Amino acid sequence: MKSYCSFILLILLVFTDNLTAQPAWENHGKLEVAENGHYICHEDNTPFLWIGDTGWGMIQQLTRQEVDQYLDHRQNLGFTIIQTVAHWSPHGGGMRRSPDNAPNAYGHRPFSGDEKSPNTSEPLVTPGGSPESPNDYWDHVDYVVHAARKRGLYLALLPCWGSELITGNNEYTADEAKSYGTFLGKRYGKEPHIIWVMGGDTKAQFKGYDKNQKYSEYDHRGVYRAMAEGLLNGVTGKSAKWNESNKAWDELLITYHPNGDYPYGSSQWFHKDAWLDANGVEVWKEVQDVYRAMIDDYQLTDPVKPSLFLEGSYEYGTYRHECGWVTPVMVRRQLYHTFFAGGAGHTYGAGPIWAMRGNEGDYNCGYTWQQALDFPGAIQVATIAKKFLLDHKWHEWVPNGNVISGTGQGEGLKTAVTTLSGDIALVYFSNNSSTRVKNILGKDAEAYWFYPRDGQIDSVEKFSYNESRTVAPPSRWEDAILVMKVMK
């Protein structure tokens, strides 16, 4: 009962803080890359913790009232980022994919042209509407942008869903992408909470056989680079090439959302591009690839850039398994593997939520997106993990294999970090199995177990300096973090 009451108190405290806090951009300034290149911070050097939720279909699918319902819930839970798409090609939810110029909940299409063939250089804008009384698609986008801002949430905004609209149906040429980017930049460039995301579940360049053994060859890097150049022009009024170092790029924060095949993250195509501030990783159903994908990006140099985990396996997703195959512990593993590999941020997702349409099919398993809001993994990510990360100086974490002698693999993977200040060592146990742990902190350390499922704490006998000991999590815990802190 004691641990349960403590957990409820934790939730209430976090909810209260989320409801009363001033927007981070007002208190700490705009977002930028930290001096060491491994995380994102504000102008005043306050670290920014990216804890995202996946709402790809929000703009295109939801009414204003539904947008408010969704954002209120995610704000209260503790999420800091919502990922969504301005030009979404609706799919998922057990329903057939909609046309590329599909109307939103109010019947408004994003572009001129017919429903199947948008003219992506001509956004369909009709004078006289407003965010509260929309008479075109972009009035409703304005509503979503304003709704996120007033709740203190950042909006990671994809201009389009690249896998369908660029890789799939070639709806954007480089010129069209640049024109569209300029439009978006002008319309939303002054918003303090917009983070731009190129891509959309797609490789920018590929030559070879896909998972279905079908040969594919394409190179769309020029389209995304042109779109980034358009955004820059729209936001700043200045022009710079994608490969040109220019202070104007500092006015935007841009990443890229790839698709889920290791090792195809954004660093494969854009790592040295001037416009790309942070690399993006997706693993989709390959939950065992999170750590190695993130650590690969962390180890890149020339330049060093933050890496963001932008999409993984959705809670209660099936991926051709039974409903509920992606359990909360699998969700937690993805998050902790991200940060124990030096990641700068992590995005959660629920199977019935991301498409925000229907309640059938592999991803939804009979749930509506509203019912899925209260899945346990969301609390474990946005409330419990967020507090743990903040309390244990996540931005100082450096992957450090010297703490453990046996890492294991797959579901038994153990990973370790130490802080830059040298006062904390942490070991994440992906399941309940043992390994040998060494105190390398230079002084005796107090120690305790933390349970990522509900925030329980279980004390451990202190570790003397240089002591090595075989340890395992408390009985019946699904996963655990061993915390060692230098004794004062």
Would you place residue 357 in the very low, low, confident or very high pLDDT band (cuts 50, 70, 90)?
very high
The pLDDT assigned to 262 comes to: 87
The proportion of the chain whose per-residue pLDDT surpasses 70, expressed as a percent, equals 95
Would you place residue 2 in the very low, low, confident or very high pLDDT band (cuts 50, 70, 90)?
very low
Would you place residue 302 in the very low, low, confident or very high pLDDT band (cuts 50, 70, 90)?
very high
Contact 196, 85 (CB under 8 A): no
The pLDDT assigned to 3 comes to: 42
Q: What is the CA radius of gyration of the chain?
A: 22
Closest of 363, 268, 346 to residue 311, by C-alpha:
346
Q: What do you get for the CA distance between the two ends of the chain, in Å?
A: 31
Would you place residue 20 in the very low, low, confident or very high pLDDT band (cuts 50, 70, 90)?
low
Which CATH architecture best describes the domain 2-395? Answer: Alpha-Beta Barrel (3.20)
Would you place residue 361 in the very low, low, confident or very high pLDDT band (cuts 50, 70, 90)?
low
The two tokens of residue 92 are 């998922």
Contact 100, 117 (CB under 8 A): yes
Confidence (pTM): 0.95
Count of H-run helices and E-run strands, the chain: 15, 22
Would you place residue 216 in the very low, low, confident or very high pLDDT band (cuts 50, 70, 90)?
confident
User: Which sign, positive or negative, has the C-alpha torsion 471, 476, 480, 484?
Assistant: negative
Give me the DSSP letters along 184-218.
HHHHHTT-TTEEEEEESS--SEEEEE-TTS-EEEE
The pLDDT assigned to 5 comes to: 39
Place of tokens 């815990």: 477
Equal CATH topology for 2-395 and 401-486? no
Contact 448, 460 (CB under 8 A): yes
Per-residue three-class SS string for 66-87: HHHHHHHHHHHHCCCEEEEEEE
- Residues composing the chain: 488
Residue 37 has pLDDT above 70, yes or no: yes
Going from N- to C-terminal start, the domains of the chain cover 2-395, 401-486
The pLDDT assigned to 24 comes to: 96
Residue 431 has pLDDT above 50, yes or no: yes
CATH 2.60.40 assigned to 401-486: yes
Q: Return the DSSP state at 293.
A: H
Which of the residue ranges 12-16, 391-395, 400-404, 457-461 would you say has the lowest mean pLDDT? Answer: 12-16
